[in-house]
Amino acid sequence: MRFVITIQITGFLTDFSGGESTIAIDGPAATVREALERLWTRHVGLRDRVVDERGRVRPHVGIFVNADHIRHREELATAVRDGDEITILPAISGG
């Protein structure tokens, strides 16, 4: 059985994913944290832009599982299932 989670990278973060905006993560991951750790092995530079040195999501970054913001769930411990989509959305600032 194949287990796939799709991760959407948006905004300036694609500079750190080799220009990829949609990345399929193959293999089991029980939580958002596990899926992101698999992503970090492919795109190391993304990690420091998404989480801080303690592994917490930076305040200016939103992470969603399907349509649910993980801050309203279990943060990085939010469960994921086969077929879920994780979106990493940096805050947009401007005037």
Q: pLDDT per residue over 23-79, tens digit each? A: 999 888 999 999 999 999 999 999 999 999 999 999 999 999 999 999 999 999 999
- List the 68-69 sheet strands across, edge first: 22-26, 4-9, 85-90, 61-65, 68-69
Read off the pTM: 0.92
Q: Which of the four pLDDT bands, split at 50, 70 and 90, describes residue 91?
A: confident
> pLDDT at position 67, please?
94
Is 90 exceeded by the pLDDT of residue 10?
yes
Which residues 6+ apart lie within 8 Å of 23 measured at CB? 6, 7, 9, 17, 39, 42, 43
**Which fold would CATH assign to domain 4-90?**
Ubiquitin-like (UB roll) (3.10.20)
